[in-house]
A and B are shown apart, each in its own frame.
Chain A
Amino acid sequence: MTEYVIRRLLYGLLVVFLVTVFVFLALRLIPGDVVRLQLADAPGVTEEQVDRLAAELGLNQPLFTQLGTFLADAVRGDFGQSFQDGEQVTTLIGERLPITLQLGAMAVLFGVLAGIPLGVLSAVRRNSWLDQSLRLVSVAGISIPNFWLGLLMVTYLALLFTWSPPLVYQGPTEDLSSNLVHLALPALALGTSTMASIARMLRSSLLEVLHSNFIRTVRAKGASELRVIGKHAMRNSVVPVFSILGLQVGHILGGTVILESIFGIPGMGMLIFESVQMRDYPVVLGCVVVYGAVFVLINLIVDVCYGVIDPRIRYART
């Protein structure tokens, strides 16, 4: 097990490293350099000033020296300073990442809590009208764009309940109820596709397990249906559900970007979105790397859990 975790961890580190290199090179190789883009708005910039800023940012050095410097700094958690306000990129991300993680966690929680009962219901009542409509709901849940859902929710739920989300974001330590209420709707919009995917996957894997011989044996010895499903079948069908969670990580992380901007939540998504508009490259770069790292880390955790649940996976070559 330890060997498996270490192997996955090393591979994760390699991927994060490659993401960093990719992002850095992409930024340097585009036509038009960063300095000119940054100074483009300022009137009356002389060549001298351009050169000085370039030297300041280390842009006059060879590409690989720059890459080395960047990587060395990045390892120490230093992604440079924001072009906007000179704030450390690491500080900015550190402030906002927890908010995004909380939103993502709430979305996953909703997806799991709602998806599992729906999937079980669908499998147990196979081919009934309930199953058919639940299946249609799941496909619809996967297809509805989460930002459209968010927009509809923010308007119609507000009209329906004469309630609207708080205008100013408050952290969980400032005002926990306001914080949870604020994040509830975007988490719901974000978690809908997770819920639908889990319900679909659980239905098909449960059906497969319910047809296997050992379930027939369990039934034959007179176990109640609740026990058959809850104890024996569920345990064997939960592994594919875990793989869905792994697949959903990227979807949820990406989804936070757009939902944060709709609901005015100052998380990582809002940060990268604003920085893209301002062409604040150090922040964009740091955000992409951190997003990649979070993605890799969560997938690593999912993989390790996967290995714990199903020991066969540990021994397979990765």
Chain B
Amino acid sequence: MSTLDHRPAGTGRLTSFGRGLLRFARTQPFGSIALGVIIIFVLAALFAPLIAPYDPVAQHRDAIQLPPSGEFWLGTDDLGRDVFSRVLYGARTSLLVALATLATGGVLGSVIGIFSGYFGGRWIDSVLQRVMDTLMAIPGIVLLLFVAALLGPSVRNTIIALSLLVIPSFNRVARGQMLQIREELYVTAARANGCGVLRILRTHGLPNLLAPMLVVMSLMLAIVMIAESALSFLGVGTPPPTPSWGLMLSDGSRYMEIAPWMVVFPGGMLAVAVLAFNLLGDALRDFFDPKQIR
């Protein structure tokens, strides 16, 4: 898990990051392509208002369900809205929800995991882990539907539901890592030297957590993006008219035979984004832990 570090003392943090990036690009071609795709995707989402040729909710009454053309690059939907602009803004929704989920569920799960793994005596650890097992026993979509049924469909509630979905995964990784670190000699040494808990966590815990966390974040982003679309597809996620890939798929599913572009493009974008995050996650895992044959 932990990478041996042979760099000379005094090398700046930034250059070591740059060097790491270069090594990543050299050893992980698929991962690098995936990273490139993700960067393009993030930029497209970020600058959607500048790139999008039309307002994503503007209805062009004289252009209902037109196939892709020079005027409407990816065609128009049943209300005459530009699919390309909607796909761009949909990326925005998708990414925003995914990042918000990581910021809440990911952080919460990690904190629980760190706490449970490092401090958790018999009791606290078992109680927390039983709670995690409970959350994990409910299949993803079912848990999402349940929360949506309780709180009603909205972007905020979607984020709450998705957070519940990712908490156990982050918890598992953080806890496993902490349990391992706790037994390391250098941690015992640090403790013997009188280091406080916070100092041990900062100097030994967090650096060791970084690599597995990056991996799980990438893989979870993929899962969250699919789940958000699935929820919106079922009509209990992002409420219309906010452009969302899941909503676009559910609108388009009624017109598959006559206007396939309404389904093919948002779904394709979703698949590409998820593929990129999965590939990146795999590449990061190989990169940090080359011993494991994948």
Contact = CB atoms under 8 A, between A and B. Distances in A.
Interface of A: 14-16, 18-19, 22-23, 26-27, 30, 139-140, 142-145, 147-148, 151-152, 154-155, 159, 200, 204, 207-208, 250-251, 253-255, 257-258, 261-262, 272-273, 275-277, 279, 281, 284, 287-288, 291-292, 295-296
Given A139-B282, A258-B233, A145 B270 contact: yes
Interface string B260-294: 10011001001100110011001000000000011
Given A139-B279, A155-B257, A148 B234 contact: no
Given A143-B222, A154-B256, A254 B140 contact: yes
Size class of the B contact interface (CB-based, 8 Å): 35 or more
A207 B151 CA distance: 48
Interface string B134-152: 1111111111011011110
Contact of B133 (A18, A207, A257, A288): A18
Contacts of B282: 139
Contacts of B148: 276
B83 interface: no
A72 B175 CA distance: 35
A67 B251 CA distance: 41
Interface in B106-143: 130-131, 133-143
A16 B133 CA distance: 10
A6 to B, nearest CB: 18
11 contacts: A143-B222, A143-B278, A147-B233, A147-B249, A152-B263, A254-B139, A257-B142, A276-B236, A277-B235, A277-B236, A284-B146
Contacts of B134: 15, 18-19, 22
Contacts, number: 126
Given A143-B275, A253-B142, 4 more contacts: A26-B146, A144-B275, A155-B263, A288-B146
A52 to B, nearest CB: 24
Contacts of B253: 151, 262
A151 B263 contact: yes
B138 A208 contact: no
Given A15-B133, A258-B233, A148 B249 contact: yes
A145 B267 contact: yes
B230 interface: yes
A249 B215 CA distance: 22
Nearest to B131: A18
B150 A26 contact: yes
A257 B145 CA distance: 10
Contact of B137 (A15, A151, A275): A15
B139 A291 contact: yes
Contacts of A262: 253
Contacts of B151: 30
Nearest to A287: B142
A148 B270 contact: yes
A147 B271 CA distance: 11
Nearest to B274: A143
Q: Of residues B139, B222, B236, B256, which shows the largest number of chain A Cβ atoms within 10 Å of its Cβ? A: B139
B229 interface: yes
Contacts of A258: 141, 230, 233-234
